[in-house]
Amino acid sequence: MNLYPPEAAARHRAAGYWTGELLDEMVRRHAAATPGRIAVTDRERQWSYAELDARADRLAAGMAARGLRRGDRVVLQLPNVAEFFEVFFGALRAGVVPVMALPAHRRAEIAYFCAFAEARALFVPDRHEGFDHRELAAEVRATVPQPPEVFVVGDPGPFAPLAELRAPAGALPPGRPDPGDLAFLQLSGGSTGLPKLIPRCHDDYLYSVRASAEICELTADSVYLCALPAAHNFPLSSPGTLGTFFAGGRVVLAPDPSPATALALIARERVTLTGVVPPLALAWAAAAEAAGDGGPDLSSLELLQVGGAKLSEEAARRLGPALGCRLQQVFGMAEGLVNYTRPEDDEHTVLTTQGRPISPDDEVRVVDDHDRDLPDGTPGHLLTRGPYTVRGYWRAPEHNARAFTADGFYRTGDIVRRTATGHLVVEGRAKDQINRGGEKVAAEEVENVLLAHPAVHDVSVVAVPDEFLGERSCAYVILRPDADRPRPVELKAFVRAAGLAGFKVPDRVEFVDAFPSTGIGKVSKKDLRASAN
Ligand code: OOB
């Protein structure tokens, strides 16, 4: 399968970006050179590089023995536990393709991923944050045409424990996958009714990981705290856990991202860097300020990366002093392009821009509504193409025709301005999405669910400003003429009962008689947003 046009792939290879190394081979490399070095710390557990490597081998061999073939898909829904990497690297080594679900996903999303990807297996924890994922797995199995086999980390209940998939030590994984083949399916933040899957290969992803590790100056002494869900592109690759493994450093997994947990882990594990979304950064900063000198010792922390949603200049100014470290802004997307402010950037640039692209060969265009290029300084639509930006979503030709230009640029849906130094400033968004403190909600997905409610005639879900999260979601509802007005909580419960992740449940519900319309009769979400407050 060609994920990139052959001439583009040849160019990226010739430029040295694509090296042909597989993502799991970095683990192998460190296991050979420094077998005893710790790769992962998870609560009281420590796995060395040798152990992680051996586990990945055993899982890869076990998957093959179980009949999972190269190219088969599995859904990975594991929280921040060491087994996340055992399964991820094991699958990659076997050529089995994980779909990177989030722990917050519920029946609707997981069933959709399983059905659409024709997943052969589903990996879940027993319980996470009070929620029983085995029950979720059972519900999913009942709705999917070809139910996946379920493997559980922890108490397996009616399913198989992960241990059952581990081949005996010494078992060899099947043949080496191709670095240009589909390696895993990342999730799109989405702006459409159904989530889109993003096909990433070893070559493109490893380039972004390696270059990110260089930009962020990672070494074997780096200790990365993974506080966001490990499957997300930011903590996975920017440079995140994979960048840390690439450099031979140590990954510390936070069971939850609360200030109490995270700050204590930074102190205990001597964490040197971490990546968070803006609301979390502010919560940590507030906790550190409140604790003062008597609080956890954060002196090991060198770099705080903030991304996933816009960081205000005011907030940016506070973070470094509060946590006693350097700040880096990160503006990235699971589809590819990632921008960083650099260590050599002046303070103003770090506080007021969202960075510049990883690669000299990242092509960035800022265009008007007719795809005409705009001069630097003028906000417009961000289009991008390059050595690690995908050329299309997985099995979505119709959507791809809209989401990509004919010559392969991805339409990010972001409105940005480029400065004279090539840094990007995110000014807004043209896509129909709510960015809830880094968690992305596709308005249409929630609207489709609410439209099925018997009292709802029409609905429009929009972002409204929020002091803490940046944005929250508000569902504007037009009721059927003869319907009794439901209470907002009933409509929220309806969305939850439909099996959507909790972060997609509208924060607010407002009843209106009509929607403002644009000149050509479409609902004007811009005017709806303006009517909030
Ligand atoms: C990251 O990835 P996704 O796929 O969850 O979301 C991508 C979208 C971007 O298109 C943009 O709309 C928004 O999230 N975004 C930002 C931002 N970083 C991401 N908006 C404003 N300022 C920022 N710094 O969110 C992601 C992936 C890799 C690294 C970092 C973030």
Domains in the chain, please, with CATH? 22-178 (3.40.50.980), 205-362 (3.40.50.980), 433-531 (3.30.300.30)
Quickly tell me which residue has 């139910």 as its tokens. 147
Cα 329 to ligand 1 centre (Å): 11
CA 90 to chain centre: 20
Position in ligand 1 atom list of the atom nearest CA 232:
5
Average pLDDT over residues 344-370: 98
Tens digits of per-residue pLDDT, 364-411? 999 999 999 999 999 999 999 999 999 999 999 999 999 999 999 999
Cα 212 to ligand 1 centre (Å): 15
> Hey, whose CA ends up nearest to atom 8 of ligand 1?
333
Question: φ and ψ at 209, to 5 degrees?
Answer: -65, -50
Q: What is the ipTM of this complex?
A: 1.00
Helix/strand/coil (H, E, C) string of 353-410?
CCCEECCCCCEEEEECCCCCECCCCCCEEEEEECCCCCCCCCCCHHHHHHHECCCCCE
> Hey, whose CA ends up nearest to atom 3 of ligand 1?
333
Q: Among candidates 197, 257, 256, 225, which has minimal Cα distance to 41? A: 225
In one letter, which amino acid is 525? K
Structure tokens at 426: 């995110």
Structure tokens at 315: 């907030």
CA–CA gap between residue 502 and residue 495 (Å, rounded): 9
Across the strands, what pairs with 273?
A: 224, 303
CA–CA gap between residue 284 and residue 280 (Å, rounded): 6
Cα 54 to ligand 1 centre (Å): 34
Tens digits of per-residue pLDDT, 289-329? 999 999 999 999 999 999 999 999 999 999 999 999 999 99
CB 405 within 8 A of CB 371: yes
Q: Are strands 303-307 and 273-276 parallel, antiparallel or unpaired?
A: parallel
The pLDDT of residue 174: 87
> Hey, whose CA ends up nearest to atom 20 of ligand 1?
309
Burial 115-150 (b: 16+ CB within 10 A, else e): bbbebbbbbbbebbeeeebbebbeebbeebeebbbb
Question: Pocket around ligand 1: residues whose beta carbon is below 6 Å from it?
Answer: 189, 233-234, 238, 307-310, 329-334, 338, 354, 412, 414, 426, 429, 435, 440
Position in ligand 1 atom list of the atom nearest CA 186:
4
Cα 189 to ligand 1 centre (Å): 9
Position in ligand 1 atom list of the atom nearest CA 306:
24
What is the percent of the chain where pLDDT is above 70?
A: 100
Name the DSSP class of 294: G
CB 298 within 8 A of CB 267: yes
Cα 188 to ligand 1 centre (Å): 10
Tens digits of per-residue pLDDT, 461-507? 999 999 999 999 999 999 999 999 999 999 999 999 999 999 999 99
Cα 179 to ligand 1 centre (Å): 26
Mutation to probe ligand 1, out of 200, 313, 331 (largest number of atoms < 8 A from CB): 331
The pLDDT of residue 172: 83
> Hey, whose CA ends up nearest to atom 6 of ligand 1?
333
Cα 506 to ligand 1 centre (Å): 21
> Hey, whose CA ends up nearest to atom 12 of ligand 1?
414
The pLDDT of residue 72: 98
> Hey, whose CA ends up nearest to atom 19 of ligand 1?
308
Position in ligand 1 atom list of the atom nearest CA 412:
10
Residues 188, 189, 193, 195, CA torsion sign: positive
Query: Under 8 Å CB-to-CB from 361, ≥6 apart: which residues?
Result: 12, 15, 17, 386, 387
pLDDT band at 2 (very low <50, low <70, confident <90, very high): confident
Long-range contacts of 521-526 (CB under 8 A, 24+ apart): 523/460, 525/432, 525/443, 525/460, 525/462
CB 366 within 8 A of CB 417: yes
CA–CA gap between residue 511 and residue 459 (Å, rounded): 9
Question: φ and ψ at 57, to 5 degrees?
Answer: -60, -50
Q: Among candidates 451, 441, 459, which has minimal Cα distance to 500? A: 441
> Hey, whose CA ends up nearest to atom 7 of ligand 1?
333
Across the strands, what pairs with 303?
A: 273, 326
The H-or-E segment that residue 224 falls in is strand 223-226
CA–CA gap between residue 75 and residue 429 (Å, rounded): 30
Average pLDDT over residues 456-462: 97
CA–CA gap between residue 153 and residue 139 (Å, rounded): 18
Tens digits of per-residue pLDDT, 27-51? 999 999 999 999 999 999 999 999 9
CA–CA gap between residue 366 and residue 382 (Å, rounded): 5
CA–CA gap between residue 207 and residue 418 (Å, rounded): 24
Average pLDDT over residues 181-202: 95
CA–CA gap between residue 202 and residue 506 (Å, rounded): 37
Cα 234 to ligand 1 centre (Å): 8
Cα 324 to ligand 1 centre (Å): 25
Position in ligand 1 atom list of the atom nearest CA 433:
12
Phi-psi region at 438: left, alpha or beta (left = phi > 0; alpha = psi -120 to 50): left
CB 229 within 8 A of CB 103: yes
Mutation to probe ligand 1, out of 280, 310, 333 (largest number of atoms < 8 A from CB): 333
CB 163 within 8 A of CB 171: no
Tens digits of per-residue pLDDT, 192-231? 889 999 999 999 999 999 999 999 999 999 999 999 999 9
pLDDT band at 265 (very low <50, low <70, confident <90, very high): very high
Cα 332 to ligand 1 centre (Å): 4
pLDDT band at 533 (very low <50, low <70, confident <90, very high): low
> Hey, whose CA ends up nearest to atom 22 of ligand 1?
310
Cα 383 to ligand 1 centre (Å): 14
Cα 87 to ligand 1 centre (Å): 26
Task: Report yes or no on whether pTM surpasses 0.95.
Answer: yes
The pLDDT of residue 521: 85
